Amino acid sequence: MTKKKVEVKTEAQEQKTEQTAKEKQTVQKKQDQQAAQEASSTEEAADQIGADIESLHEEISDLKDKNLRLMAEFDNFRKRSLKEKADLIKNGGEGILKNILPLIDDFERALQAMESTSDVQAVKEGVDLIYNKFLAFLGEHGVQAIETEHEVFDTDLHEAVTTFPVEDEDAKGKILDCVSKGYTLNEKVIRYAKVVVGE
């Protein structure tokens, strides 16, 4: 009986050991499967991150290229604008000077006529015509003479060369004489009229 008991106990222990070994194998298999799945998902995540990084590098490269091109275009635009501005400043008066050349021709013809004619009245009329033509030319380009005759002295338009004592109360503070005409260009004073003011 004791032998039988020992055999039964040993058999039971063997079965128990076998069962424990099977359970350990099952647990080990499950752990191996989980580890394999985790390794697989980690590899997939690493591949995805690598692809994302590569995509971002390409995007950064494209943006750098676009930025360089834009900066180059802006630099070209700036240089072109500066050149156009310099040309405008340099040749801005070209149109006016072209329009003034016929007046120079008229003056030259008048000078030639003065040398060969004895009719002073005809020369005077010619010079008057040239003068009026020149005034019209100035008017076309926005230049106007500043009115001074019997006007009230205005420091925004006139420059007092001297004052002259007057007895008439109405003449006080008014312009008596104009020494040098003043002019405006599009309503901006380009030369003040030099005047004598009554006091």
Enumerate residues 6+ apart whose C-beta is below 8 A from 163.
Answer: 196, 197, 198, 199
Rounded to the nearest angstrom, the gap between the alpha carbon of residue 137 and the centroid of all alpha carbons in its chain is 35
Minimal CA–CA distance to 172: which of 152, 149, 192? 152
What is residue 72's predicted lDDT score, i.e. its pLDDT?
Answer: 95
Distance separating alpha carbons of residues 185 and 52, to the nearest angstrom: 66
What is residue 27's predicted lDDT score, i.e. its pLDDT?
Answer: 79
What is residue 3's predicted lDDT score, i.e. its pLDDT?
Answer: 58
What is residue 8's predicted lDDT score, i.e. its pLDDT?
Answer: 61
What is residue 71's predicted lDDT score, i.e. its pLDDT?
Answer: 95
H/E/C letters for each residue in 8-24? HHHHHHHHHHHHHHHHH
What is residue 2's predicted lDDT score, i.e. its pLDDT?
Answer: 60
What is residue 81's predicted lDDT score, i.e. its pLDDT?
Answer: 94
Q: Per-residue pLDDT tens for 40-84?
A: 777 888 888 989 999 999 999 999 999 999 999 999 999 999 999
Phi-psi region of 49 (alpha: psi -120 to 50; beta: other; left: phi over 0): alpha
Residues (pLDDT < 70) of the chain are 1-9, 12
Phi, psi of 160 (to 5 degrees): -80, 120
